[in-house]
Amino acid sequence: MEDVPLSEAAAPLARARRDVVFTGAGISAESGVPTFRDDLTGLWARYDAERLATPEAFHADPDLVWGWYEWRRARVRRAEPNPGHLATAAIEALVPGSVVVTQNVDDLHERAGSRSPIHLHGSLFAPRCVAEAAHPAPLPATGTGEAAEPEEGRRLAPPRCAHCGALVRPGVVWFGEALPEAALTAAAEAAAGCDVLLTVGTSGVVYPAAEIPRIAARSGATVIQVNPEPTPLDRVCAVNLRGTAAEVLPALVAAASS
């Protein structure tokens, strides 16, 4: 279903007692956050993703991989949550049983006020050591101005774990790695038990994350998609709202609140 009045699309959200907001790269792109492939620019364009986003790449050249992720983290720090992130937090206030599930590795949902979003693909802001215990590690200190962003293309030695001495790695899910079991289970359970699922800015093709809206649809939830373009999720959604998260989500929240 498309081109329905916004009030009609908002009605299930207004009635919901439990909802899931499932977000992808599209919502953060509106804050100027590129995908990891799009961040292969400038001096980093000498490399491909497989040289920078696999466990093998990190073990072969930890300084190179850590340097790239620290550069990415500094760039994300400069971005600001957009109206789509703020509307997501507003949905949590509107529906007490809300759960935010994101495929993004930035912290823009948290900075917009969302409570403990589930990160399916990890986070740039949750480094951990490479040991089996995967000890959480503190974020490296950052300076101000030019010192706050590592030079493009620069190798940086990763820190060592304060608990076991192992190298600290970025806390993201790399190619060849499974999604965090606890996060995936929590997301699937939330989808299976919700009244409404909003899928926002995601292509719906990256599995197993792409299964989350489908779980909700099979469980009888109303699935509403917000995306500027058609996606493979169109056929499982009760409503497809064409537009960006920053445009559509605030209007949807306003309509559901009225």
Prior bond of 208 cis (ω within 30°): yes
Q: Is 38 known to sit in a ligand binding site?
A: no
The Cα-based distances of 185 to 66, 98, 190, 205, 252 in angstroms read: 29, 16, 9, 19, 28
Q: Is 3 known to sit in a ligand binding site?
A: no
Q: Is 72 known to sit in a ligand binding site?
A: yes
Catalytic residue, chosen from 85, 109, 119, 121, is 121
Q: Is 203 known to sit in a ligand binding site?
A: yes
> What CA–CA distance (Å, rounded) separates 59 from 43?
21
Q: Is 47 known to sit in a ligand binding site?
A: no
Q: Which of 130, 155, 122, 150 is nearest to 59 (CA)?
A: 130
**Is the Cα torsion angle 199, 201, 204, 210 positive or negative in sign?**
negative
Q: Is 106 known to sit in a ligand binding site?
A: yes
Q: Is 155 known to sit in a ligand binding site?
A: no
In which residue are the tokens 């089996």 written? 132
DSSP state of 169: E
Q: Is 129 known to sit in a ligand binding site?
A: yes
Q: Is 161 known to sit in a ligand binding site?
A: yes
DSSP state of 221: P
Residue 45, both tokens: 């364009």
> What CA–CA distance (Å, rounded) separates 257 from 81?
22
Q: Is 104 known to sit in a ligand binding site?
A: yes
121 is catalytic: yes
Q: Is 237 known to sit in a ligand binding site?
A: no
Helix, strand, coil abundance in the chain, percent, nearest 5: 40, 20, 40
Q: Is-contact 240 64, C-beta < 8 A?
A: no
Neighbours of 78 (CB within 10 A): 11
Q: Is 229 known to sit in a ligand binding site?
A: yes
Residues forming the active site: 121
Residues annotated in a binding site for NAD(+): 103-106, 201-203, 227-229, 245
Residues annotated in a binding site: 69, 72, 103-106, 129, 161, 201-203, 227-229, 245
Residues annotated in a binding site for Zn(2+): 129, 161
Residues annotated in a binding site for substrate: 69, 72
